[in-house]
Structure 1
Amino acid sequence: MLASLFRTPGGPEVLELAEVPVPLPGPGEVLVRVLAAGVQPADAAIRGGWTPPGAEIALPAVPGNEFAGVVEQLGAGSYGWEKGDEVLGFRLLGGHAQYVAVPGDQLVPKPAGMGWAEAGSLSASGQTAHVALSELGVGAGDTLLLHGASGGVGTVAVQLARAWGATVIGVAGERNHDYLQGLGAVPVAYGPGLADRVRAAAPDGVTAVLDAAGHGSLEASLDLGAAPDRIGTIVDYPAAVRLGLRSLRGPRTAARLTELTDLWQTGALHLEIAATLPLSQAPEAHRQVEAGHVRGKLVLTPWATD
């Protein structure tokens, strides 16, 4: 099979398209033919040399922590799935390939009406947003300040926070302001004077802050009304430690992913796909993700040709 892998950490240029053996599903695992796989900032960070807490990265490594596809083969004891089932799921690595072997309890059924690109882009951003908002206790009556509101995590976080009863002040580039208004957020622009613009949009202050952008967002959020234990980040963990704020992490689960697919099926969750790219263009996808300003998600289609 083809996979996008790196043999040594570095920039996007270290990614190469290579032939590797198709993985064999072990006990309790399922082999999935991958039809779409989202590209996350975490994928780029791992390629650059970051190791998630508690993980081990063996080289060569294949990035990709979310995917959607069709069940091809069952390992021993992989109950609940059949060959031909359409699924979406998650694992730490391996998604940017034509096949992935994954524990059966890290898969959920793909809704019949959901496109492959949407299915392949949901798990990482959706579950990250769900965990972060839950950890911050966002709910009815809150005013949430959300940095990076038009990205993959931000798109889902806006909609979840609104569904849970919060007002959302979404920070994003001006070209994405109409998009954020369509999701139900009050948009404000990045740049000098951000705090004043937030105060104008939320004169009673904000009660929670989620940083999905980095680049000094936490520092800019300190004097806007939220208590320190309700200000957190999913990207700038060193700043959170330095400032005594929240580093937001949590386990991904099939139950959480099912809740998100259920929301999508009711029409309460929109997923924005910036572009789909063939696996050979994984380096370009990493470049765009690292540069920021991607609206929604970039998705790799491993069986596509250039």
Structure 2
Amino acid sequence: MCRRPGDIECATLDLARVGPGQLLVRTLMSGVSTGTDKWVMRGTFGWADITFPAVPGYQRVGVVEEVGSDVVGFRTGQRVVATSGLGYVEVGSAWGGHSSRSISEAADVYDAEGIPAERSAFVVVAQVGYNAASRLLLDAGAHVLVVGDGVIGASAAFACRARGFDVLVAGRHRSRLDTLHEAGFATVDARATDVEATVARFEPSAVIDTVQNAEAFDMYIPSLPRRTGQVVYSGHSPDGVTAWGDMAVLQQRELTVHFVSGITSTRVEATLGLMRDGAMPSEQLLGTVAGSPDDAARLMRRVSAGRLEPVAAAVDWTWAA
């Protein structure tokens, strides 16, 4: 819980009663979003009105413990993923997923039977990656550059590979690039002096940009083919940033640009399908798992400070069962 921006602790909270259209879910594992969770805990997210005290987190896997009277299609004991956590007494929900138990609206809950918790706990960020890859108007075998070695970029790389694309990931963290290399992706250090030459040799037909800044733009734009090249912007720019590319250059080169964000049930279901098939093995990105209250608080403080080095992290809530 965050009592105020940057003030993070593991606390015991009371829950309201489950409403007719809601479910109570006991969390097994919640996936950390190193971007959104960081900005929410700092109070700088910008796309939503975050009030404190609040519980952050927007992706978790757990077991249904109680089903509201109007809910159909779910049963107690069922393994599910949830994209929200609600019902905290006198504490707000900044999507509320980092909690051992919480209430969710039925519309925010999906069946996750048969999917490992270490995989399904990252359903939302994986869905963001799926969304980015799904926008590309390309045939199998096309070359796609993914800019950014965080969990969103990695999820986009998995989704691109599932579509049959050849992927190169550009990032700035050696340990994250090593993890992605072990997962079977070609990688390049975006800080290297020859990165533009490496990208040019790769000959990308499209770019998924999860970094969204002018430096990244200047790195990949010269390598995209005129008239047929595509850019998918798949990220979040806090602190009032509203531009991360040159619209005149995009127009001059006649490039197709896609902007993606948000969660839809169709995308979540498709992402869970990839997870069941093994095409979205998000657990390969997992580098840190917090398994106690103190570990969870320390992990989230590192995330808030922007000091989390692994691609992905999670909180294991089985200690609270």
Q: Common fold, TM-score beyond 0.5? A: yes
Aligned equivalents of 1:79, 1:209: Cα separation in 2: 41
Q: Following the alignment from structure 1 to structure 2, what is the Cα–Cα distance between the partners of residues 192 and 224?
A: 16
Percent same amino acid at aligned positions? 23
- Structure 2 distance, partners of 1:43, 1:23, is 24
- The correspondence for 2:43, drawn from 34, 41, 49, is 49
Q: What pairs with 1:267-282 in structure 2 (closer than 5 Å)?
A: 267-271=278-282, 272=284, 273-277=286-290, 278-282=292-296
Q: Deviations over 1:191-215 (max 9, x none)?
A: 1422122223x1xx32222223456
DSSP 3-state at the match of 1:97:
coil
Equivalent of 2:246 in 230, 243, 247:
243
* Amino acid of the structure 2 residue aligned with 1:47: M
Distance 1:45 1:179 in 2: 24
Whole-angstrom distance in 2 between the partners of 1:106 and 1:17? 24
Is 1:6–2:12 an aligned residue pair? Answer: no
Contiguous gaps of at least 5 residues in structure 2: 85-93, 251-256
Alpha-carbon deviations, 1:53-101, whole Å to 9, x = none? 3x33232110010001111112231111111111112126111112121
1:218 touches 1:240 (CA, 8 Å); kept in 2? no
Q: Which residue of 1 aligns with 2:209?
A: 211
Measured in 1, the distance between the counterparts of 2:40 and 2:152 equals: 18
The Cα offsets for residues 248-270 of structure 1, whole Å up to 9 and x where unpaired, read as 43331333222222222222221
Residue 284 of structure 1 corresponds to which residue in structure 2? Answer: 298
Query: Which TM-score applies when normalising by structure 1?
Result: 0.83
How far apart, CA to CA, are the structure 1 residues paired with 2:271 and 2:101?
24
Separation (CA, whole Å) in 1 of partners of 2:234 and 2:63 = 34
| Cα pair distance change 1:211/1:288, threshold 3 Å | farther
| Corresponding position of 2:198 | 197
Q: Per the alignment, do residues 279 and 301 of structure 1 end up closer, same or farther by CA in structure 2, a change over 3 Å counting?
A: farther
Structure-2 residue corresponding to 1:39: 32
Counterpart amino acid of 1:50?
T
Runs of 5+ consecutive residues of structure 1 not aligned to the other structure: none
Indicate the RMSD between aligned Cα atoms, in angstroms.
Answer: 2.7
The TM-score with structure 2 as length reference comes to 0.79
Given residue 171 of structure 1, which amino acid in structure 2 is its aligned partner? A
Aligned twin of 2:223: 224
Please state how far the C-alpha of 1:26 moved relative to its aligned partner: 2.1
Q: Deviations over 1:162-213 (max 9, x none)?
A: 221221111134445554344442211121422122223x1xx322222234
Aligned pair count reads: 290
Q: Give the secondary-structure state (helix, strand or coil) at the position aligned to 1:96.
A: coil
Measure the CA separation in 2 of the matches of 1:256 and 1:65: 15
Tell me the equivalent position of 1:253.
Answer: 264
Are the counterparts in 1 of residues 146 and 153 from structure 2 also a CA contact under 8 Å?
A: yes
- Deviation per CA, 1:23-62, whole angstroms, max 9, x where unpaired? 4322311110111101102011111113453x33232110
Indicate which of 9, 27, 31 corresponds to 1:16.
9
Q: 1:85 to 1:18 in 2, by over 3 A?
A: same
Name the CA distance, whole Å, in 2 between partners of 1:283 and 1:143: 41
1:242 Cα offset (Å): 5.3
1:108 pairs with 107, 110, 113, which one? 110
The letter of the residue matching 1:145 is L
Instruction: Name the aligned partner's letter for residue 164 of structure 1.
Output: R
Distance 1:7 1:88, change over 3 A: same
Change (3 A) 1:293 1:171: farther
Structure-1 separation of matches of 2:105 and 2:19: 8
Q: Which amino acid aligns with 2:148?
A: G
Cα offsets for 1:198-245 (capped at 9, x unmatched): 223x1xx32222223456323322322156862424134736455337
Please give the residue correspondences for 1:124-203 in structure 2 after superposition, counting only pairs within 5 Å. Answer: 124-137=124-137, 139-149=139-149, 151-172=150-171, 173-177=173-177, 179-193=179-193, 194-200=195-201, 202=202
Distance 1:94-1:184 versus aligned 2 partners, 3 A rule: same
